[in-house]
Amino acid sequence: MSEYLPGLAGVPATKSNISDIDGEKGVLYYRGYPIEQLAENSSFEETTMLLLDGELPTADALSEFSQQLRDNRWVKYHIKELMKTLPATGHPMDMLQTAAASLSMFYPAKDCLTSQDGCEDINYVHNMTVKIIASLATVVAMWEHLRNGYEPPDPRADLSHAENFLYMFTRKEPDPLLAHIMDVCLILHAEHTINASTFSALVTSSTLASPYSVIAAAIGTLSGPLHGGANQRVLEMLREIGSPERAEAYVEEKLANKQVIWGMGHREYKTKDPRATILQGLVSKLMASRGAAANPLLETALAVEKAAEERLGHKGVYANVDFYSGILYNEMGIPADQFTAIFAMARAAGWLSHWREQLGDNRIFRPTQVYTGKPPRDYIPLEKRS
């Protein structure tokens, strides 16, 4: 009998050279580069190329890739018309999954996925990757206007990926500091080894489904509150607590009732998530730029983190990436229900890097199970059952 490990904890599901985590030290690497160095020095476009190709690009290659993203920001009007039919009260992640799946109807993408060995046409893989990453950002920004009854602005080809997203989202010229912060956030959320949504992408990829189906499956997985949806729950939690003075009592109550403290703990990290540290610094930087002496949400968050660390630190439970990302997005004027959609448009870079890697050495996933049902038995006719 095979050993059963709930949640496949610690079970290697694939080989990958895309990213790596040292959970004991709290270190995250993209292709061998520490996330802190990329957050400080890189851009989302450059980091995406690193994840896809394995190396930092030359200046010419980066310029060409950035231009390709800019050229693919427009989506066919049918997509917008489809989005208009969706309930305005629907969650952005449900909209995004619907829109991502529908893209394959308007941009057919299975011409290379005909052999059980995957796809060796690197141009096909590259073009699909560019189209999806560019389109998702446009769709997320468009929804903010469509659900409020307004026509969204057209994309701009003179702006970076982060700048254009903020322009389309707010209809305003992007503030340089906010654009920089958004760029760093996209880098931090771009990849994180074989998490639940990436595993979902791998399983779907292994069937040679279209890349749009791969992304739609991953988006659905990311939407859950135990994965990408936690950042929205963190903000709701902090608002419920209300003030730093109530943090300790809140943490005590949650622990006593064996309930979740959103944004605390991670399957991989036994210390503070390095992305949380960077995001915390960005919140402070944004507050300082506005001359704010204090921020109620941030002060409450710091108090919750301190109380939780005092009680759970010995178990390796510390703040994760979701704990500070919600606060940061809130200060940028982004509605809470859009947090995870932004996460998804960034993580598409990682999902598609794993899609490309899977196609390079494909085998359909077919795990086994531990059967716990009835032993073999004979069928009993209906009239003989009591």
Q: Which of 165, 221, 173 is nearest to 340 (CA)?
A: 221
Strand order in the sheet with 27-30: 19-22, 27-30, 33-34
Phi first, then psi: give them for residue 155, nearest 5 degrees: -65, 160
| The pair of three-digit structure tokens given for residue 56, joined into one six-digit string | 């930092």
Catalytic option among 192, 266, 273, 354: 266
CA angle centred on 15, ends 216 and 104, rounded to 5°: 20
CA pair distance 288, 327, nearest whole angstrom: 15
Cα(228)–Cα(98) distance, integer angstroms = 17
**How distant is the alpha carbon of residue 224 from its chain centre?**
11
Residue 169's Cα: distance from chain center in Å? Answer: 18
Q: Is-catalytic flag, 227?
A: no
Helix or strand run (H / E) with residue 28? strand 27-30
* Distance (Å, whole) CA 306 – CA 298: 12
266 labelled catalytic: yes
* One-letter amino acid of 56: L
Tracing tokens 């010419």 back to the chain, one arrives at 60
Helix (H) or strand (E) holding 49: helix 44-53
State whether the Cα torsion 236-242-248-250 is positive or negative: negative
Closest CA to 232 of 133, 136, 96, 92: 92
Catalytic residue of the set 189, 192, 322, 354: 322
- Residue closest to 67 by CA, chosen among 142, 154, 130: 130
The answer to whether residues 140 and 92 touch, using CB atoms and an 8 Å cutoff, is yes
Tokens 């602005």, located at residue? 153
Q: Which residues are the active-site residues?
A: 266, 322
